Structure 1
Amino acid sequence: MPYPCVGILVNDKLHRSIPLGKTKYEAVHLYVKAGAKYGFTPCFFRIDDLEPGAQTVNAYVMHSGQFIRKIVPVPEVIHNRAIYNGRKQFRQINSWIKEGKQLFNQWNRYGKLYVQDVLMKDPSLRPHIPATYDASISHIHMMMKLYNDLIIKPNKSSVGRGVMKLEKTVRGWKLTYPASLSIHNRTWRTLTFQGNRLPLLLRSRLQRARYIVQQRLPLATFGGQPFDLRVSVQRGAMGQWQVTGIVAKVASKRCFLTNVAQGGTVYRLEPILIAEYPHLQPKAVIKGIEQFSLQVAEHLGNHLPHMADLGLDVGITIEGFPMLIECNGKDQRYSFREAGMLQEWKATYDNPMAYARYLLDCSSAKAKEELQKTSQPARCLEAIEVRSPSC
């Protein structure tokens, strides 16, 4: 087994699936392949497998074509592919950083409002960010006066779970909502109402969890259905941000969401632009999206601890102007595979391992100084939505 090891931090469900070879959306074999390419062994473990101060960890490694549990030295570099929400996990991760471990994507689930507040600090990004507020009753009323179409979604969620649409009609307002909050929900229902009295169902959901209300963007369409983009932005072998790939997600006729988990279909972007928007120059539009995405990643990388792997949801107008919908710290990479973009799909696994190699090789004082700027432990629990006193 070539040393050193590079850690891949995974959640419990994926950890159980690794020896069975049923890891579904996470292609762990591509980490192994990239590790061999860059001269190290990826080892997969959970947060509770690594005790503070420990010198070794019990992790899955590939041996003779299959995964086995093995005691290995604690990796100096760890790629976080898990999502945690608890205070205990937050402190565990910070303890690793204080011990000198280089953990990139230290925290993968920031609140959407917090991320927007960070991005709004850059004046040049503001025109690309839709109006977004905490979904209090008063904020929803305010947004209803300003816009005819709104999106109401959990402040912390992914794959479209719990998202609702509020749209103005001739007779009042219509709320479209999922019948269940499961990620596998396929049933959508509607309620109509007049005036400012929000439906009981909506008020009830707002009381149970924190939601945001956002201007619904006038997205470009394909075949009459709105689409947005998943843009993978990652640090690579030289430590710099790069766009790994762009894939279009088109909403189904049964749902307003573009998420693949909610029935959306994925395509390459360039054929869509050629077919639907002949007045645009596809290469120029794509270049603009890439430049915008890199700017977002650079800004977040300067304000969030050691970000190196992002999945941006970006919408474009009919004129090709990019608008940021949200940012994901744990990118769902399978969209590229589903679109037949196998080179980009494989690269989404290769680049983080190339970056891990870069971190392993950063031995000069200057490199360490640069890493310290982006690898400081997060200081504010509020930023990650863990319930705690205000910072």
Structure 2
Amino acid sequence: MLKSKIAVQVISSGILPEDAVMLGEAYLKQWKIPLGQPVTLKFGALRQFVKVVPVEKFDGMRIGQSLARRMGIYANTSLRLQYRSDSATLAIGPLIGVLISRDDPSMRDKPFGSITMFCKELVDACVAQGAHVYFFTPNHIEGNFNTVEGWVYADGWRKASVPAPDVVNNRLTSRKLENKPSVQHFLKEVKSRYNTVVFNEKFLDKPEVFEALKRDAALVKYLPESHVLRNYTLLKSMCSRYHTVFLKPVRGSLGKGIIRISKDGDHYQAHFATVGGTRKQQFASLLKFFTSISGKMKTVRYQIQQGLNLIDIGGRPVDFRALVQKNETGKWSLTSIVARTAGSHHFVSNLARGGTLSTVKEAVAKSNLSYAQGHDAPSRLQKAALEIAKGIDTHIPAHFGELGIDLALDSNGRIWLLEVNSKPSKNDNTPLQEQKIRPSVRNMIRYARHVAKF
């Protein structure tokens, strides 16, 4: 199948009626597009019968303004074009919809708050690769599944009515929004009606990930012992097996609400991760600690996990965040991996808690790990991240296109999985630079093109 990125020009509707498009003559000959007979123009969910008018010595496409508006296109652009002769369909795209949590129409320059620059970066990446992207929130979803009220970029952000997309990248950052019946219904309908591909379609809970990966013999070596904390008996048996255990909220993120418990002589020491630092509390017995959190356990489910003796730099624990993404052939590849060193009064490494970033090599070299144990750490961490991503694909029935995988090295150089995040932050690994499209953004568009068959 021939595919091309071509210039699409929007011209006055007076010159070109809505049921006609102009196309360079070479394309009609190359693809044997019939002259004078209507073909179906496809753009996302939009289907329109058009006549194709050949233009000599022209290698682009021209569409009238009224058709362009129905497509959500407000300026000249570049798109991919292909002709499917079996269905007499002229397909242009891909049309990508990014589902985000919120917008603020009153903030014209920053309608999406802190992720506005990331959204603009996606627009620029689409321009470079010949795709069209728009952004929409759960509030934009109505009963009509053919079109969406979304945001497009054309000399500034503007609202537009756009066809339902070929691909939805779900970047909702709240489970509550994701589980709204209107959102779930929309995703189900566009999948079945238009073969829309939805990726990163759901949040991952910590126990779900560990239970799924336990089924894979090749991945068990990366998994610290962990269970959903249901009762005191389980807490007692974990604390008898391990000097330190961690309680992590099943649905937590950014290190919020993590508790570290360790035996200290006759007492138990609990460290609570808070925004301001670590709060310490001593308990005369494990039962007293359990009683103190049992009220909280009515609303927060905890995963209890074996404590690990992580490598550290000057007493500050280090872990690693790998961003893995599917590439233009649909295979998992590593986009970036960074070391995160915890802030001085924290035991979690998130940047939101004062952690610092460095390369894997730098962090391992500065850490308390010997050269013999650490010299091959970068390649081993990369291998682990890719194996875990493939394991998620195999054992969890949902479609993911990118994952943030948090790994750790213990003082013997062994790799452990800490967490898998299906909505990795776009401000967590590489700083946004003016005029520069990050590899993670380029890769997302490449994968969207792959699944939309452009």
Deviations 1:134-158 (A, max 9, x none): 1122221221111111111110011
Shift of 1:97: 2.4
Aligned residues: 354
Give, in whole Å, the separation in 2 of the partners of 1:111 and 1:154. Answer: 9
Q: Return the letter of the residue paired with 1:93.
A: L
Q: Secondary structure at the match of 1:20?
A: coil
Q: Does 1:124 align with 2:124?
A: no
Shift of 1:195: 3.0
Question: What aligned pairs does 1:149-188 form with structure 2 within 5 A after superposition?
Answer: 149-178=244-273, 185-188=275-278
Residue 306 of structure 2 corresponds to: 215
Give, in whole Å, the separation in 2 of the partners of 1:273 and 1:156. Answer: 30
Task: Give the conservation status (yes or no) of the 8 Å contact 1:15–1:45.
Answer: no
- Residue of structure 1 aligned with 2:189, choices 85, 89, 95: 95
Shift of 1:265: 1.2
Task: Give the conservation status (yes or no) of the 8 Å contact 1:166–1:174.
Answer: yes
Give, in whole Å, the separation in 2 of the partners of 1:146 and 1:37. Answer: 55
Q: Does 1:69 align with 2:69?
A: no
Q: Does 1:31 align with 2:125?
A: no
Residue 190 of structure 1 corresponds to: 280
Do the aligned partners of residues 283 and 57 (structure 1) sit closer, same or farther apart at CA in structure 2, a change above 3 Å counting? farther
Instruction: Look at both structures and tell me which one has the larger radius of gyration over its CA atoms.
Output: 2
Q: Secondary structure at the match of 2:429?
A: helix
Q: Does 1:40 align with 2:131?
A: yes
Deviations 1:212-259 (A, max 9, x none): 111122111123211101100001122111000001111112111111
Q: Return the letter of the residue paired with 2:110.
A: L
Q: Return the letter of the residue paired with 1:260.
A: L
Give, in whole Å, the separation in 1 of the partners of 2:254 and 2:108. Answer: 23
Q: Does 1:297 align with 2:389?
A: yes
Shift of 1:87: 5.3
Question: What aligned pairs does 1:224-263 form with structure 2 within 5 A after superposition?
Answer: 224-263=315-354
Give, in whole Å, the separation in 1 of the partners of 2:339 and 2:186. Answer: 37
Q: How does the TM-score come out when normalised to structure 1?
A: 0.83
Q: Does 1:286 align with 2:378?
A: yes
Q: Secondary structure at the match of 2:449?
A: helix
Higher-helix-fraction structure: 1
Shift of 1:345: 8.3
Do the aligned partners of residues 21 and 55 (structure 1) sit closer, same or farther apart at CA in structure 2, a change above 3 Å counting? closer
Which runs of 5 or more residues in structure 2 are unaligned? Answer: 1-72, 80-92
Q: Does 1:111 align with 2:205?
A: yes
Q: Does 1:357 align with 2:446?
A: no
Deviations 1:6-59 (A, max 9, x none): 111100258886742663256212111111122112100013423355211111
Give, in whole Å, the separation in 2 of the partners of 1:56 and 1:311. Answer: 31
Residue 382 of structure 1 corresponds to: none
Q: Does 1:327 align with 2:381?
A: no
After superposition, the CA RMSD in angstroms is 2.5
Give, in whole Å, the separation in 2 of the partners of 1:248 and 1:219. Answer: 13
Give, in whole Å, the separation in 2 of the partners of 1:155 and 1:93. Answer: 25
Q: Secondary structure at the match of 2:408?
A: strand
Do the aligned partners of residues 17 and 96 (structure 1) sit closer, same or farther apart at CA in structure 2, a change above 3 Å counting? farther
Give, in whole Å, the separation in 2 of the partners of 1:38 and 1:144. Answer: 54
Give, in whole Å, the separation in 2 of the partners of 1:237 and 1:53. Answer: 32
Do the aligned partners of residues 293 and 58 (structure 1) sit closer, same or farther apart at CA in structure 2, a change above 3 Å counting? same
Q: Return the letter of the residue paired with 1:306.
A: H
Q: Secondary structure at the match of 1:292?
A: helix
Percentage identity across paired residues of the two chains: 22
Residue 57 of structure 2 corresponds to: none
Residue 241 of structure 2 corresponds to: 146
Deviations 1:173-216 (A, max 9, x none): 0111246xxxxx21432221233313343222112211111112
Give, in whole Å, the separation in 2 of the partners of 1:344 and 1:301. Answer: 31
Shift of 1:163: 1.0
Q: Secondary structure at the match of 1:356?
A: helix
Q: Return the letter of the residue paired with 1:29.
A: K
Higher relative contact order (Cα pairs below 8 Å, separated by 6+ residues): 1
Do the aligned partners of residues 284 and 25 (structure 1) sit closer, same or farther apart at CA in structure 2, a change above 3 Å counting? farther
Which runs of 5 or more residues in structure 1 are unaligned? Answer: 180-184, 363-391
